[in-house]
Amino acid sequence: MMKRPLILCLAGIALLAALPFLLSAGLLNAAIQMLIAALFASAYNLLCGQAGMLSFGHAAYFGVGAFATVHAMNAIGGAGLLPTPLMPLAGAVAGLAFGGIAGWFATQRSGTYFAMITLAIAELVHSLAPHLKGIFGGEAGMSTMRMPSLGLDFGSITQVYYLTLAWVLLSMALLYLYTRTPLGRLTLGLRENSHRLRFLGYHVHGIATLVFALSAMFSGIAGSLQAISNESANYVVFDPALSAAAVLNTYIGGVQVFLGPALGAALMTFFGYAASDLTRSWLLYQGIVFVLVMMFMPAGLSGLPGLASRLCERHGAARMLPVFLMAAGAAAALAAGTVFVVEMLQRLFSQEYRSMLRLDPAAPWPPVELLGHAWQAGAVATWAVPALLLAAGALLAWGCRRGMAACETSVSSAPRGGHAAKEIA
């Protein structure tokens, strides 16, 4: 009988394979970016989540893989050094080589010093890239073209999607198999107690360097897929924001579950794709989500199903259902109230709105268009809406907390009663 996780994985793969028949070209391109972000976050999690080494500069290896692929695609008069389906191998080799060198230096130290070294390496590459025109093409970057191979012209977004999907699934499978190997167990040992590994006779620096290089290799594959998709690369791929995104996506998804970083990266990439067209404050929302997850859900979004399952086993599904509903209602109300306030303030402090005020300072403030309605900025009713939403959310959150406290109290008192009954008997 097939295990539930395997069934869910197969169902997920089948859904991913069917996406080209379900989505438009624009959404399919967003799906490609989600797959690439998922692979990049999973590669980063190998170093950060499993080995316990927090890196602030993983965009360096993503970018090296992207530029190595562009050079490989332009080699031999534009014919390509490798067939297009094998081009990610160029990114893998470049990421592995550069990651091995950088990792040897970075893993000489641990903790904060390790993080600062990785940040310094990434900043160094980011600063040098615009000036090394022969390698990185200067500020304009480098362009290329996907060449036909194996009877495919790779001119359609669908073919690029399936190429990306194949490499992401292969890489994710290799990353998972790595966790089942003795080296994967030693990787966890680096996180838990590196001093004990050294005491047992293992070469801790060598293991850490190897893990760093492997993480950089899969990051290079993600960068390679990005270059193939865009048919170009520029020094922006070394931007610190990309390194920060890897950290945020990994922890939002959850480092304790293998697919947690991939889930977080996919969700946040889609969120950026959808929200960036709707609001200028989408990065603020992303930051708020990260802070809330770190404060209240340290296990990440992927830990929610397990938490809900454990609570249902401990207290019973019927008793936990009202608590879950109150938690969902509190989250929705608080989110709606926060979005209303942020969007109103963003429009009120925008350059366009202030320009309208300067045209006629004596005139009343113009209404603000939000959610298909014109809101008067100075009206009490306008600000009463978010106030009521936030108050309702706070009330539901308080009720959820009280419900959880009541459940815990009943559970903690039950064993004492049962024990006393046994003593009387």
Task: Using DSSP, state whether 232 is helix, strand or coil.
Answer: strand
Kindly state whether residue 268 falls inside one of the protein's structural domains: yes
Kindly state whether residue 422 falls inside one of the protein's structural domains: no
Instruction: Verify that 106 and 234 share a domain, yes or no.
Output: yes
Residues of the domain holding 133: 18-279
CATH of the domain at 259: 1.10.3470
Kindly state whether residue 3 falls inside one of the protein's structural domains: no
Report field, pTM of the whole predicted structure over 0.85: yes
Instruction: Verify that 94 and 242 share a domain, yes or no.
Output: yes
Kindly state whether residue 292 falls inside one of the protein's structural domains: no
Instruction: Verify that 42 and 186 share a domain, yes or no.
Output: yes
Tokens 């530029």 belong to: 67
Of 222, 250, 279, the residue at which a domain comes to its end is 279
Instruction: Verify that 253 and 399 share a domain, yes or no.
Output: no
Instruction: Verify that 349 and 266 share a domain, yes or no.
Output: no
Kindly state whether residue 374 falls inside one of the protein's structural domains: yes
Instruction: Verify that 327 and 262 share a domain, yes or no.
Output: no
Instruction: Verify that 37 and 131 share a domain, yes or no.
Output: yes
Instruction: Verify that 274 and 377 share a domain, yes or no.
Output: no
Tens-level pLDDT at each residue, the chain (425 residues): 457 778 888 899 999 999 999 998 889 999 999 999 999 999 999 999 999 999 999 999 999 999 999 999 999 888 888 999 999 999 999 999 999 999 999 999 988 999 999 999 999 999 999 998 889 988 888 999 998 888 888 888 999 999 999 999 999 999 999 999 999 999 999 999 888 999 989 999 999 999 999 999 999 999 999 999 999 999 999 999 999 999 999 999 999 889 999 999 999 999 988 888 888 888 899 889 999 988 888 888 988 888 888 888 888 888 889 999 999 999 999 999 999 999 999 988 888 888 888 877 777 788 888 888 888 888 888 899 999 999 999 999 999 999 888 888 877 776 554 444 443 43
Instruction: Verify that 329 and 230 share a domain, yes or no.
Output: no
Of 253, 279, 305, the residue at which a domain comes to its end is 279
Q: How many domains does the chain have?
A: 2
Q: Structure tokens of 38?
A: 């998922």
Instruction: Verify that 151 and 260 share a domain, yes or no.
Output: yes
Kindly state whether residue 70 falls inside one of the protein's structural domains: yes
Instruction: Verify that 177 and 261 share a domain, yes or no.
Output: yes
Measure the CA–CA gap between 131 and 137, rounded to whole angstroms.
8
- pLDDT for the residue numbered 316: 86
In SS3 terms, the chain reads as CCCHHHHHHHHHHHHHHHHHHHCCHHHHHHHHHHHHHHHHHHHHHHHHHHCCCCCCCCHHHHHHHHHHHHHHHHCCCCCCCCCHHHCHHHHHHHHHHHHHHHHHHHCCCCHHHHHHHHHHHHHHHHHHHHHCHHHHCHHHCEECCCCCECCECCCCHHHHHHHHHHHHHHHHHHHHHHHCCHHHHHHHHHHHHHHHHHHCCCCHHHHHHHHHHHHHHHHHHHHHHHHHHHCEECHHHHCHHHHHHHHHHHHHHCCCCCCHHHHHHHHHHHHHHHHCCCCCCHHHHHHHHHHHHHHHCCCCHHHHHHHHHHHHHHHCHHHHHHHHHHHHHHHHHHHHHHHHHHHHHHHHCCHHHHHHHHHCCCCCCCCEEECCEEECCCCHHHHHHHHHHHHHHHHHHHHHHHHHHHHHHHHHHHHHHHHHHHHHC
Kindly state whether residue 38 falls inside one of the protein's structural domains: yes
Instruction: Verify that 354 and 257 share a domain, yes or no.
Output: no
Kindly state whether residue 65 falls inside one of the protein's structural domains: yes
- pLDDT for the residue numbered 416: 52
